[in-house]
Amino acid sequence: MKPLGIAFIGYGSIGRVHAMGYRNLPFLYGLDHEAVRIVGVATAHPESAQAAARELGCDVWSDDYRTLLDREDVDVVDICTPNAAHLQPVLDAAAAGKHIYCEKPLGLTVTEARRMVEAVERAGVKHQVTFHNRFVPAVLRAKQLLDEGYVGEVFSFQSRYHRSSYIDPNKPISWKLRMETSGGGALFDLGAHALDLLRYLLGDVAAVRATLRTLIPQRPVAPGSSQLVPVDVDDFALLELRMASGAFGTMEASRVATGATNDMGVEIYGSKGALRYNFADPNWLYAYSLDAAGGPISGQRGFTRIETIQRYPGAQSPDWTAPTGFVRAHAECQYRFLRAIWDDRAPAPDMTDGLRVQEIMAAAQRSDEEQRWVEIA
């Protein structure tokens, strides 16, 4: 197993989560301590880059990420920059022959996302997008049951990702609240995760009808400032979705859901059963089976709480009985990417999955503008 050198491009709060994941992999999977090594980090400013290097325990830092791409000891580039700064690092890293692990959403537009997919495919490098919610234990169990036909034909579904992170109208403007730097608001920030989860569980989306709303239209330019500037991205997104399978449902994404912390959930209803999952309870899946209930009318009716706790293939520590959560799902997403490099196989979810989500989000924005259903090719 060839040791892999990791270089960070960008290092904020999500970069710290990725760093925790890489640091934990040797303990989680019994790997040699040199199997995954953080080589260097690049950020926009020398001061922040040097501080990040101290935190990461690496000697290499720069305010120009291209210096990292020239290093032979860098095998994987982990891109944790704001949305608007994904495209060029991906293109440059692919040209340099580096494998790429990129935060979501893949780009600002479908055109950007398509350019990235074309670049990595042309370069022949491995690539993955951080859709870590696929690797929550309850989601993995739901996928298994769906593939086995547990719920029968899927009729309908409901999905949500609610946070209250922008409920305070005095929270100042930031790159996440500007269209030119984020590409979209709650739809891009939270909806990207929810949409990938629906694609993972239920297949491709065929059409969308969306309503996007900016509920706090102005924000201070800086903390404590009385000067307000307009917000041009959505605070709330409501999508009606028609899947290629014929299933129909909704997805809500909100950053102004009062009282919500990290409330992500899915409910799926089929001809033979149903499934429910909530990210606040990631170690358990709730399932209902008509067969187990003795039919649609009689028998012992009700949802069953199914154990799904941390049964990750190959994991050695902690054992399967330990509850898991946000950081562990990130680590699993990262491990599967590195494992794909070691085993020379295709990673998933890859940038093509990121492109598909980008297409759905673009269709949703168009639907909101034109107030109609939009088909997705």
Q: Helix (H, G, I), strand (E, B), or coil: what is residue 36?
A: strand
Residue 312: per-residue pLDDT: 82
Q: What is the DSSP string of 226-283?
A: --EEE--S-SEEEEEEEETTS-EEEEEEES--TT-SSEEEEEEEESSEEEEEETTSTT
Which two tokens mark 254?
Answer: 């909100």
Task: Please report the domains of the chain, with CATH numbers, ordered by start residue.
Answer: 4-132+333-350 (3.40.50.720), 137-319+357-370 (3.30.360.10)
pTM over 0.75: yes
Q: How far is CA 194 from CA 36, 98, 227, in A?
A: 30, 29, 34
Which residue type, as a one-letter code, is found at position 279? F
Residue 377: per-residue pLDDT: 83
- Walking along the chain (377 residues) 10 residues at a time, the average pLDDT comes out as 96 96 95 96 97 96 98 98 97 98 98 98 98 95 95 98 97 97 98 98 98 98 96 98 98 97 95 94 92 58 83 78 84 97 97 98 98 95
Rounded-to-integer distance, Cα 372 and Cα 92, Å: 38
